[in-house]
Amino acid sequence: AQTVTQSQPEMSVQEAETVTLSCTYDTSENNYYLFWYKQPPSRQMILVIRQEAYKQQNATENRFSVNFQKAAKSFSLKISDSQLGDTAMYFCGATNNNAGNMLTFGGGTRLMVKP
């Protein structure tokens, strides 16, 4: 079984500043995939960024980047130049390359961007 843990229930950041959201996971698989999803007040889930475990290079998407530490099983999300529209719940997720292929999420971090 795999588990995903987000240890920060809530965070806040000033507009234009940088914030990092933490995520740790536990899996016995060698080949797996990690995700960050954003859920704004509309409750629509939106993919922010995706990382393949076999790739050493950290994924980047515009203002969003990850710090993937495979040995530590850590997958943090950095949001640079925070914008008011980044206010949302953020969920870290994992899925693995076996027959089960469960897509599992952490408990979420509520991020508030303050003007």
Partner 1 sequence: DGGITQSPKYLFRKEGQNVTLSCEQNLNHDAMYWYRQDPGQGLRLIYYSQIVNDFQKGDIAEGYSVSREKKESFPLTVTSAQKNPTAFYLCASSIKQGTEAFFGQGTRLTVV
Interacting residue ranges for partner 1, rule: CB under 8 A: 6, 32-33, 35, 43-45, 47, 50, 52, 91, 93, 95-108, 110
**108, containing H or E segment:** none
Nearer to partner 1, 16 or 98 (CB): 98
**Which is nearer to partner 1, 63 or 110 (by Cβ)?**
110
Complex with partner 1: residue 84 or 102, whichever CB lies closer: 102
Yes or no: say if 20 and 29 are a contact pair by the CB < 8 Å rule.
Answer: no
In Å, what is the CA distance from 93 to each residue of 16, 84, 86?
Answer: 26, 24, 18
